[in-house]
Structure 1
Amino acid sequence: MKPAPVLLVHGIRSSCSMWRTVQERLDVLGVPNKAIDLPGHGSRRGEQFTIEAARQAIEDGMASLDGRGVAVGLSLGGFLSLNWAARTRHPPLAVLAASCSVRPRGLPLLGYLGAAHLFARLPDEGKAVNDAVARLVLGAEAAADLNADVAFEVMVPALRAMAAVDPLADLAQIDVPVWLANATWDHFRVEEQTFLRAARCGRLVRIPHAGHIITAHQPEVFARLVQRLALVAAR
């Protein structure tokens, strides 16, 4: 059986380049795939980021695939994939929402906003700190993919926009299979059981020995997880 095509949606301030290693593995596994840039990121830097524009980017990306596909998003991309899937007139076959099992609100969101404002005041917008931490945590190659075209300027508007997103309400509206993929070292999984209960057709997958950027720590495991869901969706 041929796997369903998948659309890859990146995290905040990154771009489609973060999927490079995963895409290489998906190609080997025979999974058709496409990675997009969200507004304000990558090839679309300078565009205004809004939730509506992000949903349209996912809609356009999915429409470019050969028929209906699987939406695969990490962190911001996961939240947005759920938000899109709950509203589109052309539902995906399934959704894989990774590293996004916590509601984007309250003290955590305020903390990220505070950090974003702080970095925005630095001469390089925090690039040196970001690059150093990424190399330390992810390794040089994965850090290079993640930071190929980092859009620091989108952090504040994107985080502010995310305050209006309710992933639990989105999950309750999605009729297709939703797999929640969380790394065991990731703080973004603290509400995973709540998210799982909210999903109509949900499944929780934990990926060991990985942090928030699962695609960097465990690209092979992540690619095979995507393949499994793409095969399930193709049935």
Structure 2
Amino acid sequence: MTSTTLTPAVPAPDPAGAPADGSAQPPAVVFVHGMRTSGAIWDRQLEHVRALGHDAVAVDLPAHGARAHERFTLDRSFEVLDEAAASFGPGRRVALVGLSLGGYTSLAWAARRPANLAGVVAAACTSDPKGKPVALYRDVARLVVAGGGAVGRGARWAARTSGAAWSAITRAGRSLPGGGASSHALAGPGDAGAAHRPAAPGWHVVTDALTQLAGRSWLAHVRDVDVPVWLVNGARDHMRLDEQRYLAAAADAALVVVPRAGHDVNSEAPEAFNRVLGRALADFGRGRGARLGA
């Protein structure tokens, strides 16, 4: 296990891109977005890994993007990841890159030990989603979903005020919970009615997602992952609360903290995140049992 803070001097990945296990192709990459966003947040990362020689796709989780008509469940999310991994062809090794909700989902999927998984980059998801702040945020979201008229106005007021409790955990710098900053970039107030911009998912996805996540311990999932795990956090992200516990729980892990970034680390510090991503993908190609970074 290793831990580091990102510095400008970053070793370049193997230019050949060939994994050490003799596989003919470098691992394909599946990107998994955070809550109330879509696969569109990964555009710069898709361009980067494809330039490194990796096939890649950014999925939309249930209740998001092209799957906005679906309800969010982990089981359905696992099916989405199964389909994405299979899309690269039989036997192709696959790496997962997930942010926030997408990171939790990726770790839970990886804990099932799917065949041909090469490694996981789990960003902004090293704090177990449990306890009173999560329950409060989920319950306020339920009020917003159920409310109408005066009740709806009261629920929205409760969301603005009570949401501060959740923000105390999730926010840092200019970040918003679960990729919220990217969500607003996709569909901010000025974008109402813009046909080319997808609308951010409604509050129902918050209730569904937190209901699915609440009560689980992702430390147990991390312990069950049998491939390398790279944990990536923005230095200003309060979701780093348990990062050292996650690092210790994994059998084969690295921790990278990106300076001056918050929760939406891939969009707030895209160049730094891409450098980390290149290092991680190169690391996923090493032989099992080799030292991290060797």
TMscore range, shorter length: 0.7 to 0.9
Contact persistence 1:49–1:157 (CA under 8 A) = yes
Which residue is 1:13 aligned to? 36
Equivalent residue number for residue 150 of structure 1: 200
SS of the residue corresponding to residue 97 of structure 1 reads: strand
Tell me, yes or no, if the aligned pair for 2:113 and 2:226 is still in contact at 8 Å: no
Q: Structure 1 residues 44, 5: CA separation in 2 closer, same or farther (over 3 Å shift)? A: same
For 1:101 and 1:146, the matched residues in 2 are separated by 27
Amino acid corresponding to residue 84 of structure 2 in structure 1: G
Alignment-derived partner of residue 59 in structure 1:
82
Q: Report the CA distance between 1:109 and its aligned residue.
A: 1.2
Structure 2 residue 103 is matched with structure 1 residue 78: yes
CA separation of 1:89/1:21 partners in 2, compared to 1, >3 Å: closer, same or farther? closer
TM-score w.r.t. the length of structure 2 is 0.70
> For the structure 1 residues 40 and 19, does the alpha-carbon distance in structure 2 shift closer, same or farther, using more than 3 Å as the test?
same
Give the distance between the partners of 2:215 and 2:206, measured in 1 at CA: 15
Partner of residue 178 from structure 1, selected from 193, 212, 229? 229
Whether 2:275 is the aligned partner of 1:221: answer: no
Q: Do residues 44 (structure 1) and 95 (structure 2) align?
A: no
Find 1:161's aligned residue among 212, 216, 224: 212
The question of 1:96 aligning with 2:96 is answered no
In structure 2, stretches of 5+ residues that fail to align are 1-15, 18-25, 161-172, 176-180, 189-197, 287-294
Letter paired with 1:19: W
TM-aligned CA deviation for residue 159 of structure 1: 1.0
Deviation at 1:14, TM superposition (A): 1.1
- 1:119, distance to aligned residue in structure 2 (A): 4.2
Secondary structure, counterpart of 1:70 in structure 2: strand
CA 1:86/1:146 → structure 2, altered by over 3 Å: closer, same or farther?
farther
d(CA) in 2 for partners of 1:26, 1:69:
13
Q: Which residue pairs with 1:117 in the alignment?
A: 142
Q: Is the 8 A contact 1:22 1:223 kept in 2?
A: yes
Instruction: State TM-score, norm by structure 1.
Output: 0.86
Matches within 5 A, 1:171-210: 171-210=222-261
Aligned partner of residue 117 in structure 2, secondary structure: coil
Structure 2 CA distance for aligned equivalents of residues 146 and 225 of structure 1: 28
1:118 Cα shift? 4.7
Distance in 2 (CA, whole Å) between partners of 1:91 and 1:83 is 16
Task: Give the number of the structure whose residues are more often helix, by fraction.
Answer: 1
1:146 is displaced (CA, Å) by 7.5
Percent identity, please. 36
Q: Which runs of 5+ in 1 are unaligned?
A: 130-135
Which residue identity does 2:277 align to in structure 1?
V
Distance in 1 of aligned mates of 2:140 and 2:41? 22
Distance 2:63 2:37 in 1: 10
In structure 2, the partner of 1:133 is none
Following superposition, the deviation at residue 51 of structure 1 comes to: 1.1
Query: CA, structure 1 residues 62+180, in 2 after alignment: closer, same or farther (shift >3 Å)?
Result: same
Structure showing greater Rg: 2
How much has 1:100 moved relative to structure 2?
A: 0.3
Letter in 2 for 1:5: A
CA distance in 2 between counterparts of 1:175 and 1:198 reads 12
